[in-house]
Structure 1
Amino acid sequence: MADLIHALSPRAKGAFIKINCAALPRELIESELFGSVKGAYTGAQADREGLFRQAERGTLLLDELSEMPIDTQSKLLRILQEKECRPVGGRSSYKVDCRILASTNRVPVAAIKDGKMREDLYYRISTISIALPPLRERREDIVPLASSFLKRFASQAGRSIAGFSPAAAESLRKHDWPGNVRQLQNEVQRAVLMCEGQTVDVHDLTLGAPAPGEEYSDFTLLEGMERNAIVQLLKETGGNKLETAKRLGIGRQTLYNKIKAYGIEA
């Protein structure tokens, strides 16, 4: 949705910068957003350009805004009101000219009540609000979204994957997606890394829901690269596991364990 808003806006030729406010530690988020000057903190060896500066004449997406520290929210509110931003440790400010988009997986009123979001900031940024229903209530969006993620992750992984098989697409469409778009995104990323052919099939998907209280975790790129390397070497050696293990620099039993863990047919 945010990508579409940027692409169709008068600022489409400008940069589209995204930041996940929940992914950065408290001590780093301000220097990431506002920038910092040399010597502002331990390890600041040079001036750092913040995301507000990088998004000049473009769009800045603040994902998971309710996870931003309250004191940082106060500084964000001032920037939105004054259209000026001061780098961490700096003495002068620079003009801010970018469109701000914000998203949260919390109900804003509840986040305010829980002390996770400043009420004045919410009313300042909620000029236009769009409430997206969960994926299970808009199943017609699932496959197009998954296809978009597939194209992106396949490109990042250097894979040539045409799309989903009809059976895989139907499985995606029927799943309830309790983790919503983030779960779908992680599932597609996993499938791209696990897929051995040019089409993602049902057996490349793992559509199980997590146990209560368990978070959805990203399937790491390192694991995917390791699996692909094992598959490729097994093909090159004609399935010779001893030779494959030697080329990988690991023991044969370790290779067997990885083959089992990654579900590789060998």
Structure 2
Amino acid sequence: MSKANILVVDDQDSIRHFVSKALEDEGYQVQTIASVREARQALEKDMPDLALLDLKLPDGTGLELLREIKRVQPEVAVILMTAFGELETAVEAMSAGAFWFVKKPFQNEELIALVQRGLESQKLWIELRRLRHQAFADEDFLHSSSPSMQEAYAIAEQVARGDTTSVLIEGESGTGKEYFANLIHRMSSRHDKPFVEINCAAIPRELLESELFGHEKGAFTDARMQKLGLMELANGGTLFLDEIGEMSPMLQVKLLRVLERRTFKRVGGTKDITVNLRVISATNQDLERMVKEGGFREDLYYRLKVVPLWVPPLRDRRDDILPLARLFMERFSKQFKKPFRDIAPTAARVLLEYPWPGNIRELRNLFERTVLLENGELLEPHHLKLSSRARAAAEPTPGQRIDEYLTTPVPEVGIPFETLVENLERALILKVSYATNWNQSRTAELLQLKRDKLRYRMKLFQLEPESPNAHDRTQAA
């Protein structure tokens, strides 16, 4: 038998008697009240788990009580009752946070079912709040005081309540898009089901279909046995598609079909497989521009972007830089058993002046490397080795040095041709990498290089968003 506390506010004796008897027979603890004034007095003493409020009362309205309840304890489920059933009032009530709006007269069965659903909603709300706190405790570097990040958090929390709503997370490389995807999953009703992620840019296009949809035995030359795809592995939970802009047109069609019909076929299969999952996608590319240029399907774009979520770059929320830096310093000092305790004002100024093209990932990697390799209690500028990077990252951009190399007079001792070509190649890759926010697939496409060759050249030149060599060695040329 349920022990939930229910408050019933209605000025009609017959309604109060009918509702209280129906609910008490189901095991609920019921308190009945006839006016707004009495209801306020009761609410000051104790908040119910659910409230049934008449819309029109002698000394006020149920809408007034609804707003007061939601302001004090938003998880309380509120059902409004009315004999009039005006559509505008119902919309207003739902906007104010009402769980439901029911028209009198109603049947016992209808009331009981509605109350049960309302209490289930209340339990889910409480669980989501607990999960949110847990998620932020685990990924505390997502905390931010900036309005843009607060807006992103609010959107993540709201969309988590939608069981199947698709989300498109946009933002530069390193801003934390994957953490927002995981946060939405952990705050949702699917939190105890799988969270499966795949980077569409990290897998060759010809293999991505099999990874996502699986394949049957004999579907192609190396298919020696049946393989389950990530779609099936994510069933019941969340599938996170990172770098969605890298998906081929053929796979875009298949993904659209999954979103529309919730079914797919394995590669080489004939049987429709039904899945129940939420799809969250992320990109650092301009998908809207890609749609206009024919590089991405418009219908899929809008299917994925039911709810858009923008993660701002670190340079646009400078108030977060030092708190995040201290957080990473403390975390890695503890992990590596190092004595760092604080950041010197001069080092703090260097951190604030640097543009952080690699965003939070770059900041985190910098502190992991710095704390591991350096020693001391006070973190100084020379520990960070950021000064040359900050100079190189300032205008003019690194790519503009290509022209400098070609216009700089040749010294009397000469320049080895191979050295000059290497410096030009490094600068060109760096320029295009900055233009694409370090998206290797897009960089390779613009340079008309195979991605493997680009990776090899970047490794050779030690080029990555966090690498001092991305600036220092180019500067030295």
**TM-score, length-scaled by structure 1:** 0.66
Q: Does 1:180 align with 2:359?
A: yes
Q: Is the deviation greater in 195-204 or in 114-123?
A: 195-204
Distance 2:225 2:376 in 1: 45
Letter in 1 for 2:270: R
CA contact (8 A) 1:147 1:163 kept: no
Distance 2:210 2:245 in 1: 18
Q: Does 1:103 align with 2:282?
A: yes
CA contact (8 A) 1:187 1:206 kept: no
Q: Does 1:16 align with 2:206?
A: no
Distance 1:61 1:55 in 2: 9
| CA offsets 1:106-158 (integer angstroms, 9 cap, x no match) | 22211212322211001111111112222210124446667888899999xx8
Distance 1:125 1:4 in 2: 18
Distance 1:14 1:145 in 2: 31
Long gaps (5+) in structure 2: 1-179, 400-428, 441-454, 463-477
Long gaps (5+) in structure 1: 224-266
Q: Cα–Cα, structure 1 residues 73 and 138, in superposed 2: closer, same or farther, change >3 Å?
A: same
**Alignment coverage as a number of residue pairs:** 218
Distance 1:121 1:66 in 2: 11
Distance 2:225 2:327 in 1: 38
Q: Is the deviation greater in 129-138 or in 173-182?
A: 173-182
Letter in 2 for 1:53: E
Secondary structure class of the residue paired with 2:203: coil
Q: Does 1:166 align with 2:339?
A: no
**Residue number in structure 1 paired with 2:229:** 50
Q: 1:195 aligns with which of 373, 378, 399?
A: 373
Q: Does 1:61 align with 2:221?
A: no
Letter in 2 for 1:56: N
Kindly indicate which of the two structures has a greater share of residues assigned to helix.
Answer: 2
CA contact (8 A) 2:214 2:227 kept: yes
Letter in 1 for 2:212: L
**Residue number in structure 1 paired with 2:34:** none
Percentage of identical aligned residues:
42
Letter in 2 for 1:96: V
Distance 1:150 1:24 in 2: 34
Letter in 2 for 1:52: M
Q: Cα–Cα, structure 1 residues 130 and 46, in superposed 2: closer, same or farther, change >3 Å?
A: same
Distance 1:196 1:64 in 2: 35
Q: 1:32 aligns with which of 211, 214, 227?
A: 211
Letter in 2 for 1:166: I
Q: Does 1:73 align with 2:252?
A: yes
Measured on the aligned residues, the alpha-carbon RMSD in Å equals 3.8
1:33 CA drift (Å): 0.8
Bigger Rg, structure 1 or 2:
2
Q: 1:129 aligns with which of 299, 305, 308?
A: 308
Secondary structure class of the residue paired with 1:27: helix
Secondary structure class of the residue paired with 1:103: strand
Distance 1:88 1:154 in 2: 48
Distance 2:314 2:297 in 1: 28
Distance 1:78 1:150 in 2: 46
CA contact (8 A) 2:343 2:378 kept: no
| CA offsets 1:56-90 (integer angstroms, 9 cap, x no match) | 22111111111111111111001110101211111
CA contact (8 A) 2:214 2:229 kept: yes
**Residue number in structure 1 paired with 2:272:** 93
Letter in 1 for 2:277: C
1:42 CA drift (Å): 2.5
Secondary structure class of the residue paired with 1:176: coil
CA contact (8 A) 1:66 1:104 kept: yes
Q: Cα–Cα, structure 1 residues 148 and 3, in superposed 2: closer, same or farther, change >3 Å?
A: farther
Q: Does 1:138 align with 2:317?
A: yes
Q: Cα–Cα, structure 1 residues 62 and 187, in superposed 2: closer, same or farther, change >3 Å?
A: farther
1:92 CA drift (Å): 1.2
Q: Cα–Cα, structure 1 residues 57 and 195, in superposed 2: closer, same or farther, change >3 Å?
A: farther
**Residue number in structure 2 paired with 1:244:** none
Distance 2:308 2:260 in 1: 19
CA contact (8 A) 1:67 1:116 kept: no
Letter in 2 for 1:18: E
Q: Does 1:117 align with 2:296?
A: yes
CA contact (8 A) 1:160 1:198 kept: no
Letter in 1 for 2:215: S
Distance 2:220 2:330 in 1: 40
